[in-house]
């Protein structure tokens, strides 16, 4: 075999080796569906993949936090909705008790009803979701309202929850604004006043509570609306995070997974190139052997 023939064979073997490597790479990508799975595949893309995976993990964490806050606010809103109904019933009892036709016995029965309303309202003000009391401000590990006296032992501090970088909306409903004089009326105190006036058959005292109970009713309605708006904010945040996550996943797939159609095309081309290289090498070897 002449030197030139050896050089040609060497070049063809090198070309075949490269074609084989190309075919192996195309086969791996087409079979696994991933263009990049380790740093050596594409260092820049692999680094981008690591950063995007970290961002996705943060988005998932924010989704969990925002969903939990949304759930807590929805439970608080539901408790406030029931409280609104209770205050309406209490005011109706006050109107009935203030009627001049009502006697002591009727007012005593109304007093029992108001006591039931009062106790139910305190239970709602002590609503707990998972391991947190919802109306105690930042004091979430203890009942904010005394079950017997109704005294408020929580605070009115705002709990903020981060849902995106630089975005941390309020995530709690204010029990102080909903049920105590901080919001305008001491709701439980007004119910106590009505209850005592009914039990003592004090018509003037009963009548004096009607306007206060109306104010209390409006107070809880405001708190209910605020809780609903807060829950909507977190619901919207969850939707925004979901959209952001979807866009990030699409980017990541394009970088790492590649285009399936392009992968199949590359595999076909690589196989054709390899087969052509093998055929040419065989032909060259046969020519050099016979010469």
Q: Is 100 in the same domain as 145?
A: yes
- Say if 269 falls within a structural domain: no
Model confidence at 26: pLDDT above 50: no
Residue 39 in tokens = 């740093």
Task: Point out the least confidently predicted range of 83-87, 105-109, 230-234.
Answer: 230-234
Average pLDDT (42-51) is: 60
- The predicted-structure confidence for 96-142, as pLDDT tens digits, reads as follows 999 999 999 999 999 999 999 999 999 999 999 988 999 999 999 99
Phi, psi of 160 (to 5 degrees): -110, 140
The three-class DSSP label of residue 259 is coil
Q: How far apart are CA 199 and CA 206, in angstroms?
A: 10
Structural domain includes residue 108: yes
Task: Confirm whether 263 is domain-assigned.
Answer: no
Same domain for 150 and 6, yes or no, is no
Give the tens place of pLDDT for each residue, 156-192: 999 998 887 778 899 999 999 999 999 999 999 999 9
Into how many domains does the chain fold? 2
Report the distance separating Cα 142 and Cα 119, nearest Å.
Answer: 18
> The tokens of 291 are what?
């010469």
Q: Which domain holds residue 149?
A: 50-251
Output the CA torsion sign for 215, 220, 225, 226.
positive
Q: Name the percent of the chain lying above pLDDT 70.
A: 69
Contacts of 89 (CB under 8 A, 6+ apart): 113, 117
Does 163 fall in a domain?
Answer: yes
Which strand (E) or helix (H) includes residue 128? strand 128-129
| Residue 23 pLDDT class (50, 70, 90 cuts) | very low
Distance between CA atoms of 211 and 264, rounded to whole angstroms? 77
Number of residues written out for the chain: 291
Helix, coil or strand: residue 149: coil
DSSP characters for 27-86?
Answer: HHHHHH--S-SSGGG-HHHHHHHHHHHHHHHHHHHHHHHHHHHHHHHHHHHHHHHHHHHH
């Amino acid at each position: 075999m002449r030197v030139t023939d050896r050089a040609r064979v060497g070049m063809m073997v090198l070309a075949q080796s490269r074609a084989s490597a190309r075919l192996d790479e195309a086969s791996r990508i087409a079979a696994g569906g991933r263009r990049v799975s380790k740093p050596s595949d594409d260092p820049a893309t692999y680094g981008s993949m690591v950063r995007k995976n970290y961002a996705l993990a943060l988005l998932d964490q924010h989704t969990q936090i925002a969903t939990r806050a949304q759930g807590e606010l929805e439970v608080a809103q539901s408790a406030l909705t029931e409280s609104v109904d209770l205050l309406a019933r209490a005011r109706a009892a006050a109107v009935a008790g203030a009627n001049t036709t009502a006697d002591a016995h009727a007012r005593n029965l109304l007093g029992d009803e108001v006591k039931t309303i009062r106790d139910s309202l305190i239970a709602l003000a002590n609503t707990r979701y998972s391991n947190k009391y919802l109306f105690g401000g930042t004091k979430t590990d203890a009942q904010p309202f005394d079950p017997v006296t109704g005294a408020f032992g929580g605070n009115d501090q705002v709990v903020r929850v981060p849902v995106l970088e630089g975005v941390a909306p309020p995530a709690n409903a204010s029990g102080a604004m909903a049920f105590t004089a901080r919001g305008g009326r001491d709701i439980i105190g007004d119910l106590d006043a009505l209850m005592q006036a009914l039990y003592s058959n004090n018509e003037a005292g009963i009548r004096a509570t009607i306007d206060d109970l109306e104010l209390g009713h409006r107070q809880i309605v405001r708190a209910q609306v605020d809780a609903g708006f807060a829950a909507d904010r977190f619901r919207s945040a969850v939707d925004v995070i979901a959209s952001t996550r979807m866009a990030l996943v699409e980017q990541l797939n394009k970088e790492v997974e590649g285009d399936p159609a392009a992968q199949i095309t590359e595999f076909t081309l690589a196989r054709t190139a390899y087969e052509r290289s093998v055929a040419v090498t065989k032909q060259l070897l046969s020519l050099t052997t016979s010469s």
